[in-house]
Amino acid sequence: MTAHKNDTNPTGVSDFLLNCFVRSPSWQLWLSLPLSLLFLLAMGANAILLITIRMEASLHEPMYYLLSLLSMLDIILCLTVIPKVLAIFWFDLRAIGFPACFLQMYIMNSFLAMESCTFMIMAFDRYIAICHPLRYPSIITDQFVVKAATFILVRNVLIPLPIPILSGRLHYCGRNVIENCICANMSVSRLSCDDVTVNRLYQFAGGWTLLGSDLVLIFLSYTLILRAVLRLKAEGAVAKALSTCGSHFILILFFSTILLVFILTHVAKRKVSSDVPILLNVLHHVIPAALNPIVYGVRTQEIKQGIKKLLKRGW
């Protein structure tokens, strides 16, 4: 399909067409229901968690502020990706405007990195809580959360910024059909007539610099936590210490496992259907978002009590 011409756009493209699951079109039908349910669950559960933390005074603590930040990031990521995917599935609305495509690309790269960075800060919070409990109130303060949030925003707003800029500067001279459900950087860039080596290298370097460094620091934090926990002699101290960071560790597993499987299937794309990485990429924007507030709500007594109070007020 030829590109639409637009005299005001130097690339010659006014919109792209998102072509989901070309080799497995039946996936759209059976995936639309669970995807829409996961989307509604993610929106509802994160909204309840944010309202609970906002309304319940006992939850006005640094750990819950970080959890609020995570919920807000999840909501924005879901709204950026899932409604468009469902519109494609249900109404075949495959067209996406040139600016909207690159905005979606930027938000996905930026906000996934923000989530990863938030997990890293939360791992540091748990490390201080378990390894240096007496110093916790003086280190993890409201000022610490403000500084951490500023770092999360600045780092992950600036570093991914060249990704859509580099892709937007390419010359798209003919094809405008993106073989993906979302405007992933390389899915878009490979449509251009220009050399995309710089785009590929920056995506790779930026991704591993941001997500890779976060995962290394998270792993280091939990290694130190585990070492400290195993030294505890008091009866029940190990179980209590592990329970305080159990929810957080489960969330990291959700986030990193889907990401790791996506990377592995992308690397081994000759052995698996090209639709599998596309599916995993879509699910990575909704499954952690749906499960994060549920895990914390179920496993954290303070949040559970706060939600019960909120529901009683509602009734």
Q: Tell me the pLDDT tens digit for each residue of 2-20.
A: 444 444 344 456 789 999 8
Max mean pLDDT among 84-88, 222-226, 309-313 falls in 84-88
What integer pLDDT is reported at residue 69 of this predicted model? 95
What integer pLDDT is reported at residue 274 of this predicted model? 77
Asked if residues 19 and 102 have their Cβ atoms less than 8 Å apart, the reply is: no
Is pLDDT of 23 > 90?
Answer: no
SS (H, E, C) 204-254: HHHHHHHHHHHHHHHHHHHHHHHHHHHCCCCCCHHHHHHHHHHHHHHHHHH
Distance CA 62, CA 130 (A): 15
Average pLDDT over residues 184-206: 92
Cα dist from 188 to 12, 83, 136, 182, whole Å: 14, 19, 46, 9
Handedness of CA 149, 45, 216, 256 (dihedral sign): negative
Read off the pLDDT of residues 24-77 as tens digits, 9 standing for 90 and up: 777 888 899 999 999 999 999 999 999 999 999 989 999 999 999 999 999 999
Average pLDDT, the chain: 87
In percent, how much of the chain has pLDDT > 90?
55
Tell me the three state secondary structure of residue 193: coil
In percent, how much of the chain has pLDDT > 70?
92
How are beta strands 15-18 and 95-97 bridged, if at all? antiparallel
User: What band does 315 get if pLDDT is binned at 50, 70 and 90?
Assistant: low
Domains in the chain with CATH codes: 15-314 (1.20.1070.10)
Beta bridge partners of 178: 18
Read off the pLDDT of residues 152-175 as tens digits, 9 standing for 90 and up: 999 999 999 999 999 999 998 878
What integer pLDDT is reported at residue 167 of this predicted model? 94
CB neighbours (10 Å) of residue 1? Answer: 9
The region of weakest confidence among 51-60, 236-245, 275-284 is 236-245
